[in-house]
Amino acid sequence: MKFEKKTISGILLIIVSILILIVPNILLNDSQGILNLCLTIISKICLFLFLGLVLLRLTRSFFWSYLILGTAYLLSSIIEISNIILLDHYITADNITSLLNASKSEVQEFYHLFRVYLVVPAVLIAAFIFIVIKYKSIAYNIKNQKLIIPLALIALVISIPVSFLRIYHSDKALSGKGLIDCTLRIDYLMDHPFNILNESYVFVKNSIRARKYKAQHDNFSFGILNQSDTQKPKLVVFIIGERMRYANWSINGYNRETSPNLEKIKNLISFKKNYSNSNFTYGSIPLIITQATPKDPTLAYSQKTIVTLFKEAGYETNWISSQYLFDIINEKNTPDHLYPLYARQHTDMDIIPLFDSVLNKKTPKNRLIIINMLGGHGGVPAKFNVFNPNDSHEDHPVTLSNAAIFINTYDNMMLFQDYVLSEITKMTERQNVSSVVMFTADHGCNLFDNGKALFGYGSANPTEKETHVPMFISVSDKYIENNHNKYKNLLDHRDLLTTNNNLFYSLADLANIKYKSFVKQQSISDPSFVEFPSRFVRADNKVFEFKNVKDNELNSGLAENASTKEDNTSKK
């Protein structure tokens, strides 16, 4: 009886001692349903046991094993819990950058706002010290030495399949990525306690890359050739959408009315075959706002962005940022004015009044306004939830049988984006100046197309739907008066194959900015624009080539037959 009591209290001690160290795993999964939460806890306890038993075998001491492993877990725990309270996700490389660059007043403000939460780490540390002392009284039995490694392996063998099961029941199962790879990355590498190490590695890698290209980048200049040219539009607006499919807007032929507002805008040209250069945000954004290409992605770091081009050309530059993108492109400090909508709870609807206030600020200069939207990652105001049933009131599991729900949810988002984009375009036109609005998206997504259980984006083999993105250009009457030929060229080229690579050159050309490395054949508004025989997509560290297909082949899926070649640039 006495032995049993001792065993039970020993087991309880082990469970509590692990539970206090896996709080971040629990916090991030507490809203994911009870089954998911249980699978997470089982997997994480087994992972801790695996690591703990290996240490026990080495140190032959419960006290030292728990002290060493527990300290590492506790450090990660405190950092991750703080980040979850602040931002609702694990720490990222960018958060590390912000943390290291925080000013004294930012630290004081943070302390003032969040000091109440400091009680959580304080309680964890106190509990940890209490348990470490308890472990001191538990003697290590050398007779069990041979059992430890098999036990550790059993713990690992339980942890991985349980995690696999969790991922298998999530939307990741339909993302087109390898499931084992997904499990190891999402549930181990990017999860507590390894996430902080992984993100520190990414932070260091980014810093090394920035340093490697720093001299080239800092000395880079576009070299404007027509500085005193007065034929530049007063206002240029460049909008980057998020997770937007070409196919789901009625302006592009979709059978649901998802873009009633854009359709009413005169002088708006929607391009038919515009493709993104990557199928995920981090891969795509640098290739949109620089001259970098899927085959030559490092130009994104050795050269400068479209913001600098317009700055060099005498424009006042503004950036309205609804989604945080600046850890991808290191561009936070370049615009003359940055409007960080991402820093508070908001939807893309908040862009409208902010854009209005930017327009109303008087400036003698021409103006570039870049807007990057939350798009398919953001909330949709209730009045746009017109396609039912959808995912706005309760979460549904992402399964093929729920396809209709996710398509409705997606179409509501497209309808909302149509409203925001058309408002921005109309407000620009109302300025009654020579103006250009250009819109595209970073990538599209899969939506159970052709009855396939494929949902989301970033798949290892990029599909047509992940990269076929909407792109439109809208110009004011005043602009057409002065640039009739450019407008005509846009109309002539609206059905040709274009990619987000063309946007940099086209935006420069539409703004009548001439500079040294400008390639006129790549500008859609130039009469010499040539359609490429292929387009390229950078995904999964490879470059995929897609042959330009005729319209009748596009719908038959032939566009998805890609040839790949191993990417050497990233290995250099």
User: CB 457 → Zn ion: shortest distance, Å?
Assistant: 7
Handedness of CA 160, 163, 167, 168 (dihedral sign): positive
Beta-carbon contacts of 228 under 8 Å, excluding residues fewer than 6 positions away, are none
Contact 259, 270 (CB under 8 A): no
DSSP 8-state code for residue 418 = H
Q: What is the number of the residue whose Cβ is closest to Zn ion?
A: 281
User: CB 326 → Zn ion: shortest distance, Å?
Assistant: 14
By beta-carbon proximity to Zn ion, the closer residue of 80 and 242 is 242
User: CB 388 → Zn ion: shortest distance, Å?
Assistant: 26
- Pick from 538, 570, 566: which is nearest to 467 by CA? 538
User: CB 357 → Zn ion: shortest distance, Å?
Assistant: 27
Give the total of residues touching Zn ion (CB under 5 A). 3
Tokens of 178: 């390898």
By beta-carbon proximity to Zn ion, the closer residue of 350 and 442 is 442
Tokens of 151: 């036990």
DSSP 8-state code for residue 347 = -
By beta-carbon proximity to Zn ion, the closer residue of 281 and 502 is 281
User: CB 279 → Zn ion: shortest distance, Å?
Assistant: 9
Decide: is 348 part of the binding site for Zn ion (CB under 5 A): no
User: CB 559 → Zn ion: shortest distance, Å?
Assistant: 21
By beta-carbon proximity to Zn ion, the closer residue of 418 and 442 is 442
540 backbone φψ class: left, alpha, beta (φ>0; ψ -120 to 50): left
- Pick from 141, 128, 129, 132: which is nearest to 56 by CA? 141
By beta-carbon proximity to Zn ion, the closer residue of 242 and 418 is 242
Q: Which stretch binds Zn ion (CB under 5 A): 48-56, 96-104, 241-249, 542-550?
A: 241-249
Three-state secondary structure call for residue 367? strand
d(CA 53, CA 158): 14
Tokens of 271: 């391009």
By beta-carbon proximity to Zn ion, the closer residue of 65 and 279 is 279
Tokens of 171: 């939307």
Residues 18-37 that bind Zn ion (CB under 5 A): none
User: CB 294 → Zn ion: shortest distance, Å?
Assistant: 16
Q: Which stretch binds Zn ion (CB under 5 A): 10-18, 91-99, 178-186, 238-246?
A: 238-246
Query: Omega before 193 cis (within 30°)?
Result: yes
By beta-carbon proximity to Zn ion, the closer residue of 441 and 473 is 441
Q: Quick one: three-class SS letters along 374-411?
A: CHHHCCCCHHHCCCCCCCCCCCCCCCHHHHHHHHHHHH
User: CB 70 → Zn ion: shortest distance, Å?
Assistant: 38
Tokens of 18: 């692990």
Decide: is 442 part of the binding site for Zn ion (CB under 5 A): yes
By beta-carbon proximity to Zn ion, the closer residue of 20 and 351 is 351
Parallel, antiparallel or unpaired: strands 337-340 and 316-321: parallel
By beta-carbon proximity to Zn ion, the closer residue of 233 and 286 is 286
Q: Which stretch binds Zn ion (CB under 5 A): 70-78, 120-128, 440-448, 509-517?
A: 440-448
Kindly write out the interface string for residues 272-291 of this chain, putting x where it contacts Zn ion by CB under 5 A and - elsewhere. ---------x----------
User: CB 288 → Zn ion: shortest distance, Å?
Assistant: 11
Instruction: Please give the residue ranges that form the binding site for Zn ion (CB under 5 A).
Output: 242, 281, 442
